[in-house]
């Protein structure tokens, strides 16, 4: 029985040996490691850090994009009982300094010159920091005594390994389940981020629960594109993949995802709902560019696929006629989606936010099963998941075997289990505020359990809109309805304590251009359309059509088009592509107020 993550890693390395474990595409070229090479590199990094003074419980931070050195460093740190502190590559220097200082990181592993610059600029606030280890030394002045190359760190570890064989394994076996494995700093919209303290026991509980679901084994192949510093990718895509023996390919970046998927032909994929929404919207947009008869065929196929998907969900016998129709629809429409995902994907996780039923049915009809789930950093990623053999689309599934879920009187989702953190580093007040008096984690999300025990999420507790008329409205439901249309890239609904709802839109430029050409509207660049009255009338018609599907109190009375695309870099999106509502509300306050009378604004 393994008592920590590093022991699992060691067992897999011994078992799978020279078989390829991971690959990473860098500058168009794939670089890989066998399990044996992976373990050896991690051991040398761990022992190198030991030489720098890292001991059990000490923190080592990493600021880097996904790359082989990231996971090697992670397993090296964990292997000597250290605590890995991931930092998102997109955060500003000030936040890098805060996390390094707050976590008391002793060593900072920096990917490149930009990360090194962030580290050096914030040294004054990090007196405990002893060394900055640089992965890519190009254009970095390594004469600074604070700096050390990643390769030199490994060489240091290799020397210690030669003089004290078995030391790494001894240090690994000294790590107990209750020992800290990682801090994950939550991406708050205001104030400093909080360092969630995740133990080996927390992660072991999750990956054991996933293992019980028979998700995957060593015959499976994954293409990973979510950041390793995100708890979902790290726990499910890194640690669980390690336990299952999945051969993982790390994509170069978001721009190469499609090509990488088609090249490596994965059998399993981890994503977030926004990725699935974008794929679905792109396919709908392409279909609308076809001849009318082809659009009719597409719409017919979508309807057939939805009916077929629902029979499968209910485990009911599929009528013969529907089976025949589905075979035709699959060859004409759905096979293309499956082919775009490499042709072998069995399942794809879309966890973290509600997903429209139509999208789940569409993927399911393409024989790509979408696993919906729910979780958060504070419960080490997932708390509920649908199973491959037991699921309900439109729900977040049932609780994992490692935790319980209950609903508070006000509708808040509460969680308790071995995967739930003990609290936030150096933040006793915030820790106390996160739990009920009897020890249940307060998620901040609103939902309910249906009669069969499936969790249905309706909204964020703090994001619920209460109109001036006293109506409670869940903005996510409205936003998700709009985002099913290819035209709407991002949607933020506003109306708390107001007389009516308004919205801010990011529009899809490709779809905007298509609609403009269809209406014979001349334009030089797609963004020019957002100022044109003729184009705004097209947007009006889409808004009116969608408003017809909503209750009167939920309809969007006015909207504004935001030309600048929301992104993680500019602060409006989290790393998992969810909108930071408070940031958007603050940044575009004048635009929002312009949609309300002066007395209200």
Q: Is residue 188 over pLDDT 60?
A: no
Residue ending a domain, choose from 176, 210, 242: 176
Q: Which domain holds residue 576?
A: 464-593
Burial class (CB in 10 A: 0-12, 13-18, 19+), 598: exposed
Query: How many helices and strands, by DSSP H and E, does the chain display?
Result: 22, 25
Q: Is residue 221 over pLDDT 60?
A: yes
113 belongs to a structural domain: yes
Tell me the pLDDT tens digit for each residue of 23-74: 999 999 999 999 999 999 999 999 999 999 999 999 999 999 999 999 999 9
Residue ending a domain, choose from 127, 153, 176: 176
Residue ending a domain, choose from 136, 157, 176: 176
Find the mean pLDDT for residues 167-182: 98
Helix H or strand E segment including 229: none
Packing angle of the helix pair 292-313, 320-329 (nearest 10 deg) = 130
Find the mean pLDDT for residues 226-239: 93
Lowest model confidence (mean pLDDT) among 248-257, 277-286, 319-328, 358-367: 277-286
Residues of the chain with pLDDT > 70, as a percent, come to 98
Q: Token pair of 338, please? A: 């499956």
58 belongs to a structural domain: yes
Residue ranges of alpha helices (H) inside 91-247 are 93-103, 113-121, 150-163, 167-173, 200-212, 231-232, 240-244
What's the mean per-residue pLDDT of the chain? Answer: 92
Would you state the pLDDT for residue 187?
A: 61
SS3 36: helix
353 belongs to a structural domain: no
> Per the confidence metrics, is the pTM higher than 0.85?
no
Find the mean pLDDT for residues 360-372: 92
Edge-to-edge strand list for the sheet holding 131-134? 147-149, 131-134, 107-110, 59-63, 83-87, 180-185, 195-199
Q: Token pair of 309, please? A: 């998907």
Tell me the pLDDT tens digit for each residue of 512-557: 999 999 999 999 999 899 999 999 999 999 999 999 998 888 999 9
Q: Are 373 and 397 in contact (CB under 8 A)?
A: yes
- Residue 599 confidence class, pLDDT cut points 50, 70, 90: very low
Find the mean pLDDT for residues 184-199: 80
336 belongs to a structural domain: no
Would you state the pLDDT for residue 284?
A: 86
Q: Is residue 250 over pLDDT 50?
A: yes
Nearby residues of 545 by Cβ (< 8 Å), 6 or more positions away = none
Strand partners of residue 405 = 415
Task: Look at the block and give the residue holding tokens 């109506």.
Answer: 471
Would you state the pLDDT for residue 191?
A: 62
Q: Which residues of 447-472 are buried (b: 16+ CB within 10 A; e: fewer)?
A: bebeeeebbbbbbbbebbbebeeeee
471 belongs to a structural domain: yes
346 belongs to a structural domain: no
SS3 464: coil
> Domain total for the chain?
2
583: domain CATH number is: 3.30.300.30
CA distance 577 to 579: 6
Task: Look at the block and give the residue holding tokens 């392409």.
Answer: 286
Burial class (CB in 10 A: 0-12, 13-18, 19+), 3: middle
Q: Find, among 126, 49, 124, 117, the residue nearest to 81 by Cα.
A: 49
Q: Find, among 213, 265, 260, 264, the residue nearest to 236 by Cα.
A: 213
Q: Is residue 601 over pLDDT 60?
A: no
Task: Look at the block and give the residue holding tokens 């709802």.
Answer: 501
CA distance 134 to 532: 50
Q: Is residue 189 over pLDDT 50?
A: no
Lowest model confidence (mean pLDDT) among 81-90, 164-173, 188-197, 307-316: 188-197
CB atoms closer than 10 angstroms to residue 147: 19
Burial class (CB in 10 A: 0-12, 13-18, 19+), 544: exposed
Would you state the pLDDT for residue 257?
A: 86
Q: Is residue 190 over pLDDT 60?
A: no
- Phi and psi for 549 in degrees, rounded to 5? -90, 0
Q: Give the chain's length.
A: 601
* DSSP 8-state class, residue 435: B
Helix H or strand E segment including 513: helix 509-518
Dihedral sign of CA atoms 456, 461, 463, 469 in order? positive
103: domain CATH number is: 3.40.50.980
388 belongs to a structural domain: no
Tell me the pLDDT tens digit for each residue of 437-480: 999 999 989 999 999 999 998 877 777 787 777 777 878 889 98
Q: Are 175 and 4 in contact (CB under 8 A)?
A: yes
Would you state the pLDDT for residue 336?
A: 87
Would you state the pLDDT for residue 512?
A: 94
- Residue 598 confidence class, pLDDT cut points 50, 70, 90: low
- Residue 286 confidence class, pLDDT cut points 50, 70, 90: confident
Tell me the pLDDT tens digit for each residue of 117-158: 999 999 999 999 999 999 999 999 999 999 999 999 999 999
485 belongs to a structural domain: yes
Q: Find, among 581, 579, 595, the residue nearest to 543 by Cα.
A: 595
Find the mean pLDDT for residues 306-329: 95
Q: Is residue 334 over pLDDT 90?
A: yes
Q: What angle do CA 449, 186, 253 make, to 5 degrees?
A: 100
């Amino acid at each position: 029985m393994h008592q920590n993550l590093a022991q699992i890693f060691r067992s897999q390395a011994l078992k799978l040996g020279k078989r390829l474990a991971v690959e990473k595409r860098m500058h168009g070229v794939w670089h890989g490691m066998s399990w044996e090479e992976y373990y050896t590199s991690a051991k040398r990094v761990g022992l190198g850090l030991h030489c720098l003074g890292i001991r059990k419980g000490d923190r080592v931070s990493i600021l880097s994009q996904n790359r082989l050195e990231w996971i090697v460093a992670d397993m090296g740190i964990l292997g000597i009982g250290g605590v890995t502190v991931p930092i998102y590559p997109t955060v500003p220097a000030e936040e890098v300094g805060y996390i390094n200082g707050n976590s008391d990181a002793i060593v900072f592993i920096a990917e490149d010159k930009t990360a090194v610059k962030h580290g050096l600029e914030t040294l004054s606030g990090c007196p405990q920091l002893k060394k900055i280890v640089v992965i890519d030394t190009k254009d970095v002045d390594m004469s600074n005594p604070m700096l050390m190359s990643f390769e030199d760190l490994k060489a240091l570890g290799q020397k210690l390994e030669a003089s004290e064989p078995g030391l790494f394994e001894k240090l690994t076996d000294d790590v107990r389940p209750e020992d800290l494995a990682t801090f994950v700093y939550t991406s708050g919209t205001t104030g400093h981020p909080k360092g969630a303290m995740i133990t080996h026991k927390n992660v072991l509980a999750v990956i054991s629960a996933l293992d019980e679901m028979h998700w995957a084994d060593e015959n499976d192949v994954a293409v990973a594109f979510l950041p390793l510093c995100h708890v979902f990718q790290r726990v499910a895509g890194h640690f669980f993949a390690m336990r299952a023996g999945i051969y993982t390919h790390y994509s170069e970046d978001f721009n190469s995802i499609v090509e990488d998927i088609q090249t490596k032909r994965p059998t399993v994929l981890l994503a977030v709902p926004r990725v699935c929404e974008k794929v679905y919207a792109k396919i709908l947009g392409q279909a609308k560019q076809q001849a009318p008869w082809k659009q009719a065929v597409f719409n017919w196929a979508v309807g057939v696929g939805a009916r077929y998907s629902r029979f499968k969900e209910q485990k009911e016998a599929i009528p013969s006629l529907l089976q025949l129709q589905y075979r035709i629809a699959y060859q004409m429409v759905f096979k293309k989606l499956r082919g775009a995902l490499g042709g072998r994907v069995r399942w794809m996780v879309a966890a973290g936010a509600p997903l429209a039923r139509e999208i789940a049915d569409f993927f399911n009809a393409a024989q790509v099963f979408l696993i919906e789930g729910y979780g958060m950093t504070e419960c080490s990623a997932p708390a509920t998941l649908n199973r491959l053999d037991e699921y309900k689309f439109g729900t977040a599934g049932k609780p994992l075997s490692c935790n319980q879920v209950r609903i508070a009187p006000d509708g808040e989702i509460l969680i308790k289990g071995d995967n739930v953190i003990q609290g936030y580093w150096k933040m006793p007040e915030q820790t106390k505020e996160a739990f009920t008096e009897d020890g249940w984690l307060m998620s901040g999300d609103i939902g309910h359990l249906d009669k069969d025990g499936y969790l249905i999420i309706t909204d964020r507790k703090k994001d619920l809109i209460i109109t001036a008329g006293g109506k409670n409205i869940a903005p996510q439901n409205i936003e998700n309805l709009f985002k099913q249309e290819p035209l709407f890239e991002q949607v933020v609904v506003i109306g708390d304590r107001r007389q009516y709802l308004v919205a801010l839109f990011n529009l899809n430029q490709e779809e905007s251009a298509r609609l403009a050409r269809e209406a014979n509207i001349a334009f030089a660049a797609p963004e020019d359309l957002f100022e044109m009255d003729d184009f705004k009338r097209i947007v009006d018609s889409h808004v009116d059509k969608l408003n017809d599907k909503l209750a009167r109190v939920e309809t969007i009375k006015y909207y504004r088009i935001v030309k600048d695309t929301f992104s993680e870099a500019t602060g409006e999106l989290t790393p998992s592509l969810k909108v930071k509502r408070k940031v958007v509300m603050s940044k575009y306050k004048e635009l929002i107020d312009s949609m309300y009378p002066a007395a209200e604004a």
